Amino acid sequence: MPLYQQLVFPLLRRFDPETVHDLTVAALALAQRNAAGRRLLQQIRGPVPPQPVVVSGLRFPNVLGIAAGFDKEAEVAPGLAALGFGHVEVGTLTPYPQPGNPRPRIFRLPADRALINRMGFPNRGVAAALHHLRRLPRPRDFVVGVSIGKQKETPLEDAARDYLALMDAVYPFADYLALNVSSPNTPGLRALQGERYLTALLQTLVQRRAELAEQHGAVRPLWLKVAPDLTPGELAQIVAAALAAGVEAIIATNTTISRPPLRSPHRDESGGLSGAPLAPLSLELLARLRELAGPDLPLVSVGGIFTAADVAERLAAGAALVQLYTGLVYEGPQVAGRILRALAAAPQ
């Protein structure tokens, strides 16, 4: 039994999950600042063979990324990369600072290897994140995506305004942009996935991307992140809208508002469920997306990934890349190294 599961996690469990998260980010920020700290992170990760892949024209050092919500303000992407993650999806950012929901708003469900969160995009606004985004190393050997969302107060009719403002601000610093229309904790946000808004929203953003590409001399891929709680009909509409607008990839999935059978005391908390119970939903959605989208549209699979076997299963089902968040909480900082070594050792 690894040290983390036996000793560290039982200790961390005594503290509020968000406090532990904030301390983890602070420790990573400290460690990534100098060569000795970065070496320490690489030692924790252990040796990993290079396993590069190209998706949306971007070169990823490996298939595994850290999902949105962990590095909300783009503070620790180099530290996460030193731990082995080939890409970091920072954010979700909103145009202005907002506090999110009252704490506590993250709950551990250890018996289920799951989390429930109802964060509601707390962040200090895009300006604070830009401070960090500007300081990211360039060129760099990892990929940084920026996840963008809408301010809680912005009416759905005006949501495009928020996404446009964020695109304008982060475009020079992001390798790709993730359009988050699927978090369950911003009231109404998921309606942007529906027929009424999605086509117009995507067309507006793709149009602005063309202008920004001209201005900055670089085309940044736009990836759309969807929820797991979609009917087959809704999913078909989303894929049609994404293909018609020219979105470069779909990320599936965000957390679920459904509640598969759960054992942990916090199972009735409201919010989005992530981790092991999300895996079957995420995998099923991935397979349906692959069918609907045809062979060419890249898919990024996220939801309940803990092991190399989980990753291999997603790749076999048609994912080009995978991401995790909850797996890091339960498996610890060695999770990426462990997965990448096992993937490299597995017969292709």
Q: Is 324 in the site for ligand FMN (CB under 6 A)?
A: yes
Q: Which of 274, 285, 286, 300 binds ligand FMN (CB under 6 A)?
A: 274
- Least Cβ distance, residue 139 to ligand FMN (angstroms): 26
C-beta closer to ligand FMN: residue 294 or 320: 320
Q: Count of alpha carbons within 13 Å of 173, Cβ hemisphere only?
A: 24
Tell me how far apart the alpha carbons of residues 128 and 12 are, in angstroms, rounded to a whole number: 28
The verdict on whether 270 is a catalytic residue reads no
Nearer residue to ligand FMN within complex by CB, 109 or 348: 109
User: Judged by CB under 6 A, does residue 186 bind ligand FMN?
Assistant: no
Single out the segment in contact with ligand FMN by CB under 6 A; choices: 32-40, 74-82, 235-243, 274-282: 274-282
Measured CA to CA, the distance from residue 190 to residue 235 in angstroms comes to: 13
With CA atoms as reference, report the closest residue to 284 among 249, 332, 235: 235
In angstroms, what is the minimal distance from the CB of 68 to ligand FMN?
A: 3
In the complex, minimum distance from the CB of residue 325 to ligand FMN, in angstroms, rounded to a whole number:
3
Burial class (CB in 10 A: 0-12, 13-18, 19+), 29: middle
- Using CB under 6 A as the criterion, what x/- string covers residues 162-181 for binding ligand FMN? ------------------x-
In sequence order, what are the beta bridge partners of 54? 59
Closest CA to 107 of 15, 23, 27, 181: 15
- Least CB distance from residue 181 to ligand FMN, whole Å? 9
Residue 115 binds ligand FMN, judged by CB under 6 A: yes
CB 159 within 8 A of CB 41: no
304 binds ligand FMN (CB under 6 A): yes
Pairing of strands 249-252, 222-226: parallel
- The residues in 202-261 that bind ligand FMN, with binding defined as CB under 6 A, are 225, 254-255
292 contributes a contact to ligand FMN by CB under 6 A: no
CB of 64 to ligand FMN, least distance (A): 11
Shortest CB 238 distance to ligand FMN, Å: 15
* Options 278, 297, 336, 340; binder of ligand FMN; rule CB under 6 A: 278
Among 32, 151, 183, 237, binds ligand FMN (CB under 6 A): 183
- CA distance linking residue 124 with residue 260, whole number of Å: 34
Among 68, 80, 230, 343, binds ligand FMN (CB under 6 A): 68
Report in angstroms the alpha-carbon separations of 103 from 17, 209, 276. 10, 36, 24
Q: Which span sits near ligand FMN by CB under 6 A: 43-51, 190-198, 296-304, 332-340? A: 296-304
Shorter beta-carbon distance to ligand FMN: residue 82 or 329: 329
For position 119 contacting ligand FMN by CB under 6 A, the verdict is yes
Of the candidate residues 61, 120, 327, 333, the single one contacting ligand FMN (CB under 6 A): 327
Binding residues for ligand FMN, total number by CB under 6 A:
27
Which residue of the set 183, 274, 282, 301 is catalytic?
183
Strand partners for 223: 178, 249
Catalytic residues: 183
Q: Name the site residues for ligand FMN (rule: CB under 6 A).
A: 67-69, 91-92, 106, 115, 117, 119, 121, 147, 180, 183, 225, 254-255, 274-275, 278, 302-305, 324-327
